A and B are shown apart, each in its own frame.
Chain A
């Protein structure tokens, strides 16, 4: 039986403390791209009791996604937004979800990201990562941005790290391993990077900022 919202909140408060949970449950976090990074970030944040998640991706679930992304074999062919929303609702039924099945562009970004306190860049292509970082930091200087670069291959787990590049700009990953050169992406290393991003979001909401 699914617990009531009150029981759910009580459990979260017991684990996180009331003050911290209040910060999590009043936050809105946007996740741009729902692949290996985004789907895992969403799962961690929904479990942490983030109040509202804005999920943005134009793509559909493919067989080649399942080795690292939070989808099921039965969801192949479905929109990633809808499939992920379904999976998140099973895990954390009281996190509010806002789905946008569109490609994020310079034209629609301001509108889609308007209500986000923190924005996660979780795209696949380097050019799209750079584009989103540019849009957010130039046009939305009041928002926090958590981006990722470098999580391909089988390199050491210990090289994945989080850096504060600018006041409101955090970057996770090893900064170097390109999928086109490494030739692979494995769930464990992609999830490490996604966990760094999700953890950075929680630390920003708790106002525990990295010093470097």
Chain B
């Protein structure tokens, strides 16, 4: 199991890009953090989520 934004998700073994594809996140508006570090956008396709990973997808909204 991978903890994503506080919830257990059966995403171990999948890449970040693969996981994101099945969600409604807009990839141009997010930052993905795993176990305390930001995953570079260019590495979403090759970063494989591991069992026990703690992931946060930060989705930005407009206004400032």
Chain A residues proximal to chain B, CB less than 8 Å: 33, 35-38, 122-127, 129-130, 133-134, 137-138, 147-152, 165-167, 169, 171, 175-180, 182, 185, 190
Task: Given contact pairs A36-B64, A126-B60, A137-B38, enumerate 13 new A-B contacts (beta carbons under 8 Å).
Answer: A124-B62, A126-B61, A127-B28, A130-B28, A133-B58, A152-B63, A166-B38, A167-B36, A169-B31, A169-B38, A177-B61, A179-B61, A180-B62
- Contact pick for B61, options A33, A38, A150, A169, CB 8 Å: A150
A130 touches B64 (CB 8 A): no
Given A127-B28, A179-B63, A138 contacting B58 (CB threshold 8 A): no
Interface size class of B (residues with CB under 8 A): 10 to 19
- Number of residue pairs A-B, CB distance < 8 angstroms: 85
A89 to B16, CA, bound (A): 47
A61 to B56, CA, bound (A): 36
B41 touches A134 (CB 8 A): yes
Given A126-B29, A133-B31, A138 contacting B60 (CB threshold 8 A): no
B31 touches A134 (CB 8 A): yes
SS of A interface (majority): mixed
State the 4 A-B residue pairs at the shortest beta-carbon distance, nearest first.
A179-B63, A178-B61, A137-B38, A152-B63
A185 touches B61 (CB 8 A): no
A129 to B58, CA, bound (A): 11
A123 to B26, CA, bound (A): 18
B9 is an interface residue with CB less than 8 A from chain A: no
A selection of 20 A-B contacts at a CB cut-off of 8 Å is A35-B64, A125-B62, A126-B28, A126-B60, A130-B31, A137-B38, A138-B40, A150-B61, A152-B63, A165-B31, A166-B38, A167-B36, A171-B58, A176-B61, A178-B61, A178-B62, A178-B63, A180-B62, A182-B63, A185-B63
Which residues of chain B are near A177, meaning CB under 8 Å? 61, 63
A165 touches B29 (CB 8 A): no
B58 touches A149 (CB 8 A): yes
